[in-house]
Amino acid sequence: MDNDTDEKTLRIGIDIGGTFTDIVTVSNGTIRVTKTPSTPHAPENGVMDGLQKARTQEDFSFDSVSFLGHGTTVATNAILEETWADTALVTTIGFRDVLEIGRQARPDIYDFQAEKPTPIIERDRRFEITERLDERGNVLQDLDEEGIEKVAQQIDAEDVESVAICLLYSFENDTHERQVCNRLKEAGIDASWSLSSTVLPEIREYERTLVTAMNAALKPVMDRYIGNLGVEIDDADITADLKIMQSNGGIIAAAVAREQPVNTLLSGPAAGVQGAAAIAKQRGFADVITMDMGGTSCDVSLVKDGNPLVTTDVEVGDYPVSIPMIDIHTIGAGGGSIAWLDAGGALRVGPRSAGADPGPICYGRGGTKPTITDAQLLLGRLNPDQFLSGELDVQTEDVRKIVKQKLAEPLEQSIEEVAQGIIDVANANMQRALRVVSVERGHDPREFGLVAFGGAGPLHACEIARDLDIPRVIIPHTAGVLSALGLLMSDVLYDYSTSRVRRFSELDPAVLQETFEAFEEQGQNRLAKENFVGEEMHFERTVDLRYLGQSFELSVPVDTGTLSSESIKTVTKRFHERHRQRYGHAYTKEPIELVTIRLQARGQVPPPELGVESPEGTVEDAVTETRDVIYDGESHEAWIYNRSQLPTGSEFDGPAVVQGPESTAVILPSQHVQVDELGNLLVETQSGGE
């Protein structure tokens, strides 16, 4: 990839969160951070506000920008809030109701009243076409041309913005899908188009139909957002091409994101995991759990051997989205999560959030509901004069008054007891989330480190690590904006796949080779358009395999080069080993079935050189004050440190609070902290220090 010129040396990462929009700039190794309130109703406004603010504060020119990466929650919010575009579905006759039938399993096996999620496309906008292919893509029934004309008239009457086309076995043969699309266009249907053979050419009718429908429903939404943002960027004379973060941890061109927005559903959280993995790798930690706690949610993930775990079994809201995504588990626990009493009078925290507007009570923007951030303030862990570097008018007395009225008096507890209770409940929720990505995946959290980031992550991480016996916590130098920084540490990735359900032992290696080579050619062409050359391109082959009769499969790597019968045997052996590792057993005599062939094309982006200038002086010079801070219900006199004044190599013990410009870290009694050469805080927890 072309290197930055002398004139264009500035790289910018932008991450939109539920409360703040983060801007990170890197130039000649220097990292600078800007935060500005998010604007949920017009996210591009928050982005441009942040860029303009960063330019003013840092005194740079927009024409010096060489890279512009963006993590966005626009697609995610559209799904969670059901604000997607009006969409039609065209499918094979007999499969109109796949979106409502869904999976056999109920959300709660003991709840007979459980409701399934709202269909992405309502029934009166789902249309059937007479045609039929068999499981190998052979035509059993020709496409009904007259039926297409009728469907065109019906779609035209619905006045939809987008159309999804998902025909049976189109992953084996996409001819009918392309013919339907072309005929509908010829009939004058003015809409955006999503074909399952392009979006997700894989087996399982519900998942394939759902993802195709979701992509279609998101296309106009994302197209408008990226289009509006693109206009704003052009008007600001930023000439760098806009890149968008995908759910799989890689970035793609904005034009591609507009065509396949479903790939951006976990855009922001994925960037954070990539940033956390990179920071951990720099410190020599290959196995870590990442914890990203922002204003509205907490996202946790697991990194093994330096790589985030990627899966095709992820739910966004109540929808199973079967595309490659970093395995991220999200709960409604952020700094703005609201504390409330349920019908039985028990204290609950989240998932509802005060968001960016009005936000927690202490923000002084009219908030009237107690939140996690308010509780941290009441426990003495946050300095009311340090919120966003003093930009917010923090109202401590308002917090005490409302918490007393809404929680303390009904619970017959003191204000401080209620605040501690809020933190305890929130921590318990996050501990369960960490167990989901570790213990439930067969990993012992005691063998991992914990990378804590987001504006609120460092406030909670040391307590959670202590309770889960995680020996160390890494709090990055730019913890509050690590998702934005992660955009500058991510490669360009494109995923290609197709299902070919066959007995693996009977598969001709030449057929598998031909499929991989076709994918590689597509990947090379795509990466070449983005100026990658030669060794900057990398291709990773995998196949999804299962024992004959199994419902789900495991992904197994395939070596590069020309495949042979010996290659098939090698992959078979790897599958048995992975099955034994995952499930504790393997059936080496049972036949194996190929399900899906995958290839990932990677354009390797040189990571930015990061440097932190170590301040002069000693660790004592970084102490700003001592104050009473409540830990586990008990008050301790804690040292308060200014993070920007901590020199490299500093060491100190808790209880302590480390205040930074975009996040605050709480260190428990008996925990030990060291500051490394990149300004990261390395915390040895109580269990790790014993």
**Boundary residue ending a domain (537, 569, 603):** 603
Most confidently modeled of 6-15, 129-138, 320-329? 129-138
Q: What is the DSSP letter of 236?
A: T
Q: Are residues 92 and 200 in the same domain?
A: yes
Q: In terms of pLDDT, which residue wins out, 51 or 354? A: 51
Tell whether the model's pLDDT for residue 2 goes beyond 70: no
Beta carbons of 244 and 76 less than 8 angstroms apart: no
240-258, pLDDT tens digit by residue? 999 999 999 999 999 999 9
Task: Check residue 420 and give its pLDDT.
Answer: 96
The tokens for 1 are 């990839």
Mean pLDDT for the stretch of residues 636-665: 93
Q: Which helix (H) or strand (E) holds 2?
A: none
Tell whether the model's pLDDT for residue 687 goes beyond 70: no
Evaluate whether residue 234 is within a structural domain. Answer: yes
Residue 588: CATH number of its domain: 3.30.1490
Tell whether the model's pLDDT for residue 451 goes beyond 70: yes
Q: Confidence band (pLDDT; 50, 70, 90) for 165?
A: very high
Q: Confidence band (pLDDT; 50, 70, 90) for 612?
A: confident
Q: Confidence band (pLDDT; 50, 70, 90) for 5?
A: very low
Q: Confidence band (pLDDT; 50, 70, 90) for 325?
A: very high
47-80, pLDDT tens digit by residue? 999 999 999 988 898 989 999 999 988 898 888 8
Q: In terms of pLDDT, which residue wins out, 179 or 297? A: 179
Q: Are residues 179 and 203 in the same domain?
A: yes
Q: Are residues 127 and 203 in the same domain?
A: yes
Percent of the chain clearing pLDDT 70 (strictly above)? 96
Q: What is the pTM of this model?
A: 0.86
Q: Confidence band (pLDDT; 50, 70, 90) for 690?
A: very low
559-585, pLDDT tens digit by residue? 999 999 999 999 999 999 999 988 889
Chain centroid offset of residue 221 CA:
19
Task: Check residue 3 and give its pLDDT.
Answer: 43
The 3-state DSSP class for residue 200 equals: coil
Residue 28: CATH number of its domain: 3.30.420.40
Q: Confidence band (pLDDT; 50, 70, 90) for 367?
A: confident
Give the burial class of 641: count Cβ atoms within 10 A of its Cβ; 0-12 exposed, 13-18 middle, 19 or more buried: buried
Beta carbons of 21 and 35 less than 8 angstroms apart: yes
Tell whether the model's pLDDT for residue 489 goes beyond 60: yes
Mean pLDDT for the stretch of residues 405-409: 95
Evaluate whether residue 364 is within a structural domain. Answer: no
Q: Are residues 98 and 182 in the same domain?
A: yes
The tokens for 586 are 């393997």
Beta carbons of 626 and 641 less than 8 angstroms apart: no
Task: Check residue 385 and give its pLDDT.
Answer: 76
Evaluate whether residue 323 is within a structural domain. Answer: no
Beta carbons of 377 and 394 less than 8 angstroms apart: yes
Q: Are residues 90 and 205 in the same domain?
A: yes
- Taken as a whole, the chain contains a residue count of 690
Residue with tokens 């009237």: 368
Q: Confidence band (pLDDT; 50, 70, 90) for 689?
A: very low
Return d(Cα 27, Cα 25) in angstroms, integer: 7
Q: Are residues 593 and 671 in the same domain?
A: no
**Boundary residue ending a domain (264, 293, 321):** 264
Task: Check residue 663 and give its pLDDT.
Answer: 87
Tell whether the model's pLDDT for residue 386 goes beyond 70: no
Q: Are residues 125 and 211 in the same domain?
A: yes
Task: Check residue 51 and give its pLDDT.
Answer: 94
Beta carbons of 603 and 537 less than 8 angstroms apart: yes
Q: Are residues 97 and 181 in the same domain?
A: yes
| Number of domains into which the chain is organized | 4
User: What is the DSSP code string of 277-322?
Assistant: HHHHHHTT--SEEEEEE-SS-EEEEEEETTEE-EES-EEETTEEE-
Evaluate whether residue 448 is within a structural domain. Answer: no
Q: Confidence band (pLDDT; 50, 70, 90) for 514?
A: very high
Mean pLDDT for the stretch of residues 260-273: 92
Mean pLDDT for the stretch of residues 162-181: 97
Q: Tell me, letter by letter, the H, E, C secondary structure of 574-640.
A: HHHHHHHHHHCCCCCCCCEEEEEEEEEEEECCCCCCCECCCCCCCHHHHEEEEEEEEECCEEEEEEE
Mean pLDDT for the stretch of residues 628-636: 95
Percent of the chain clearing pLDDT 90 (strictly above)? 70
Evaluate whether residue 679 is within a structural domain. Answer: yes
Mean pLDDT for the stretch of residues 137-145: 95
Task: Check residue 392 and give its pLDDT.
Answer: 58
Residue-number span of the structural domain to which 61 is assigned? 10-79+223-264
In angstroms, what is the C-alpha Rg of the chain?
26
Evaluate whether residue 14 is within a structural domain. Answer: yes
φ and ψ of 277, to 5 deg: -65, -40
Q: Are residues 108 and 142 in the same domain?
A: yes
Tell whether the model's pLDDT for residue 41 goes beyond 90: no
Q: Are residues 102 and 199 in the same domain?
A: yes
Q: Confidence band (pLDDT; 50, 70, 90) for 92?
A: very high
Q: Are residues 143 and 192 in the same domain?
A: yes
Question: In terms of Cα–Cα distance, which of 393, 333, 455 is closest to 35?
Answer: 455
Q: Are residues 208 and 103 in the same domain?
A: yes
219-237, pLDDT tens digit by residue? 999 999 999 999 999 999 9
Task: Check residue 393 and give its pLDDT.
Answer: 61
The tokens for 63 are 């024409």
Q: Which helix (H) or strand (E) holds 546?
A: strand 537-547
Evaluate whether residue 287 is within a structural domain. Answer: no
φ and ψ of 226, to 5 deg: -65, -35
**Residue 61 is which amino acid?**
S
Instruction: Point out the least confidently predicted range of 117-121, 385-389, 441-445, 486-490.
Output: 385-389
**Boundary residue ending a domain (149, 181, 216):** 216
Tell whether the model's pLDDT for residue 7 goes beyond 60: no
The tokens for 534 are 């030669």
Evaluate whether residue 497 is within a structural domain. Answer: yes
